Amino acid sequence: MAHPSAVSLLLFLAAAAAASALADLHPEFYSETCPDAELIVREVMWMAMIREPRSAASVMRFQFHDCFVNGCDGSLLLDDTPTMLGEKMALSNINSLRSFEVIDEIKTAVEAVCPRIVSCADIVIMAARDAVALTGGPYWKVKLGRKDSLIASQEDSNNIMPSPRSDARYLIDLFGRFNLSTRDMVALSGSHSIGQGRCFSVMFRLYNQSASGQPDPELDPDYRLKLDKMCPIGGDENATVDLDATPLVFDNQYFKDLVARRGFLNSDQTLYTWSETREYVRLFSEDQEEFFKAFVEGMIKMGDLQSGRPGDVRQNCRVVNGQPMENLMEY
């Protein structure tokens, strides 16, 4: 027979677990405790963009790579330690994700005003929204109140994050696992309206895809010549190429490029090749407002993803609270 206090402890733990299972996210979460949080995030983002325009795209990408791996919990931001392989070195992230220092700058600025209040996970969400708005895209209210994870998982990132070789069928299924619709997936791919990719991400498409029995007839011949020149066999695979014709402006040019068969990644162009996604590409290419509306809905849904695991508010986005700094392997 269980001791009564053991039973009540168990009930308490069950209740606590239930309470921590899913945070109740809402836009006013910091309105009492850190009313200037959103203003500070926007100002630091703005300064980062003046210093380096591409950082808007690089920071915006963090939301995708954080939220898809065990929810939006800042796990992406943790540096590796001797006992934990983090997500920064995962297949889709290594030599690719950049501008982590912008998140550090935001965190430092916010900590100076309201220490230990604003989570790194929420900073990613706010900064991604601001990156879109500051490059000419839509603005929306973000929900806040996320906690930062105590762990990260390189393995989970490797298993989840899609390869640039993916086709539309694969991407529909993958996003579907997160309750994101085909429309959400196509609109969210429109994030490639800003930023750049490496030749590394397109080499297979350019030189091996046909040989592998997966022909890629969808490239505009002029664009193909341009890519061959920028990304030759044996060339620098770290060289970067714009993801659309207007890489500093968040607009629907990306979708116009796909219709013109000038999509950079295989995963981009496939959205126009496949019938399930083609009508969305066409619609967004013709109607920027429709794209913006669908994109905002997708970003909000993606921002709602939570793991239900315990968390707290990190002091430093790269390290779990209480962990010795000298153990960190900084990148």
Ligand X SMILES: *[C@@H]1O[C@H](CO)[C@@H](O)[C@H](O)[C@H]1NC(C)=O
251 carries a ligand binding annotation: yes
In whole angstroms, what is the distance from residue 52 CA to residue 63 CA? 19
Residues that bind ligand HEM (CB under 6 A): 54, 57-58, 60-61, 63-64, 96, 98, 162, 164, 166, 171, 188-189, 191-192, 194-198, 200-201, 243, 265, 267
Q: In the complex with ligand HEM, which residue's Cβ is closer, 86 or 195?
A: 195
In whole angstroms, what is the distance from residue 141 CA to residue 30 CA? 13
Residue pair 131/60 in contact (Cβ under 8 Å)? The answer is yes
Interface with ligand X by CB under 6 A: which range of 18-26, 233-241, 264-272, 273-281? 233-241
Pick from 153, 8, 4, 168: nearest CA to 78: 153
71 carries a ligand binding annotation: yes
26 is catalytic: no
**In this chain, which of 8, 31, 33, 95 binds ligand X, going by CB under 6 A?**
95
Query: In angstroms, what is the minimal distance from the CB of 106 to ligand HEM?
Result: 17
162 carries a ligand binding annotation: yes
Cα 120 versus chain centre, distance: 14
192 carries a ligand binding annotation: yes
240 carries a ligand binding annotation: no
Strands 240-242 and 311-312: unpaired
Q: In the complex with ligand X, which residue's Cβ is closer, 112 or 233?
A: 233
Interface with ligand X by CB under 6 A: which range of 4-12, 41-49, 139-147, 234-242? 234-242
Token pair in block for residue 180 = 């994101």
> Taking CB under 6 A as the rule, which mask of x and - marks residues 238-257 in contact with ligand X?
x-------------------
* Structure-derived torsion over alpha carbons of residues 309, 311, 317, 320, reported in degrees to the nearest 10: -100
Instruction: Point out the catalytic residue in the list 42, 54, 65, 318.
Output: 65
**In this chain, which of 33, 108, 208, 327 binds ligand X, going by CB under 6 A?**
208
Say which residues have a Cβ less than 8 Å from residue 65's Cβ, sequence separation at least 6: 76, 87, 92, 93, 97, 157, 161
Handedness of CA 12, 18, 24, 29 (dihedral sign): positive
279 carries a ligand binding annotation: no
**In this chain, which of 28, 101, 173, 237 binds ligand X, going by CB under 6 A?**
237
Token pair in block for residue 60 = 């915006």
Pick from 139, 134, 117: nearest CA to 36: 117
Helix ranges restricted to H, 213-329 = 221-230, 253-259, 266-273, 275-286, 288-303
**In this chain, which of 85, 145, 156, 178 binds ligand X, going by CB under 6 A?**
178
Q: Which residue numbers are catalytic?
A: 65
Residues at the site binding ligand X, with contacts judged by CB under 6 A:
95, 178-179, 203-204, 207-208, 236-238
Residues making up the annotated binding site for substrate are 162
Q: Summarize the annotated binding site for Ca(2+) as residue ranges.
A: 66, 69, 71, 73, 75, 87, 244, 246, 251
Which segments are annotated as binding site? Answer: 66, 69, 71, 73, 75, 87, 162, 192, 244, 246, 251
